[in-house]
Structure 1
């Protein structure tokens, strides 16, 4: 369950409470759902009770108590706890992770893409400067992934002017140069140094590309061991390997053969952060377009490529934590747990590949 879907679940709970006469308030247009802050518990938290307390004429804790029973009865929600002045902390059931992983694998690198910006065109005017050009190009890619289009030109008043590169990044090569220009926030001056070429975990762009390459490696290794992420382990898996980048009836059939709850429960506790990052990825892409007033391009947020790069880095780090437990060790036989971890690793690899593509950076299978 993604934060967007969970937000709808929260609004549905409010609507049911209003219809039952337990709350007298207008149902808001949106509910903020995010990972819990300090003192919070569970997978996600929402301040909807605090938001509705004044218009409902009731204390926040009372509103939270009313909503808790409706949320606890919602599909995919395993538990609800109230903390602080009235925050609702939501714990998702085991099947939610399985549903999310299946959704990512079905979409492949296009996970998070959609058509919510279909027909919208955003005009961007940039100076003749390499960083401005690269940021505008990344914005165009992200907006295109949501069905919109960015018209980039050098005519007219400049609307996108990030801090310029201090020197020509071309000697770094295409991938390292684009990361060097996109990873810092637009107002920060980028570093054009050879550090971006170091093949070590201290280099963020290497870490992201390495994490993707490792997900492909564990898939190859699992195939050599005779099992895949979907079907029961056995010699037949190597012959019926499913390419998760392609949406086929084979994938649908394989999904049907995976027990949703069992699959979800087999995901290790170390994967919690990884699942949260996968769920939040569509929201990160959506931040490219904003209703807030912008000092640069109206309607577009020049910081979106930087946020995407940072999200991919967090995703890569969470993926690297998972990978050591994906494959069987020693005489251990492949189990449902290994298949679940392999599916999760493949989902992470698909999102890393898709995100790097939106930044204009290659995602190699071997590194």
Structure 2
């Protein structure tokens, strides 16, 4: 059981802490035993996949730009840059791997042949789904770990999250190739391969945005890259037929609830700016504005993480990342309320601010309840 702590605001002050007990559904099976090969009937022995064809260099994707390390000074930063370089190489290798199609000998229609195909498809679908969940959770972790000032970023932890992505990607790519080769029509296989290429491109963008030197660029660049990872992973799941109507509905509701948090937070930020205009000192005014700005940033982060983990939200690690993002918003709301309490002399504005803060808390709790 996981426990998510969300603050409760009163009209102008924080009244109590509410703890929601979050129950975690089980993780998808990883399918680590591999396909069961049956050799009776028309099979004539074990079925081994072979790789045929050549890479068409005319259509090869451009090589990813490698990070510049001229101004990266600390040892953890240099280690992160090296991890990103290796990660780009792994992504490029996965792209090239997708340019060849796996082929199997023609399968018979006897029960043993059909059973082998079904087992192989199911095993690889489960493995791909599990690997996507791990990579989505790691992507969300990259977003969370890079949210603070550059000097406070745990570059070692960021590197570990990136390594999780780039070590799962090759195996996931092989699973995708197997599924595509066993699909009943080649067009479905082509769509799956295309969706996986888009995922590789999204991961490449994420790694570029996560480079230490890029941290000086707008935060939204990284959030946008992470959101594209979520969209692309959802595309892969859809094309391997692991996206059911129920799962799609859960995702849509989840993203709608995250948007509701964003809308309520935007209203709170506006109320905080109204309070700032009444502050007696410039220092207090700046503190209120700073807290409101941070609240807006953490909410943008929450929305991005929701988009990342939505396709694999049944995975506990993905749930944990979204819960942590919600708690960050709750802490930011608390900071806004506290700063406004110190600087606001207008009782009407204080009441309006308290109401807005309560609305954010309610939206956060609705989001957390949906994860249960």
TM-score relative to the length of structure 2: 0.29
Q: Which has the higher contact order (CA 8 A, sep 6+)?
A: 2
- Bigger helix share: 2
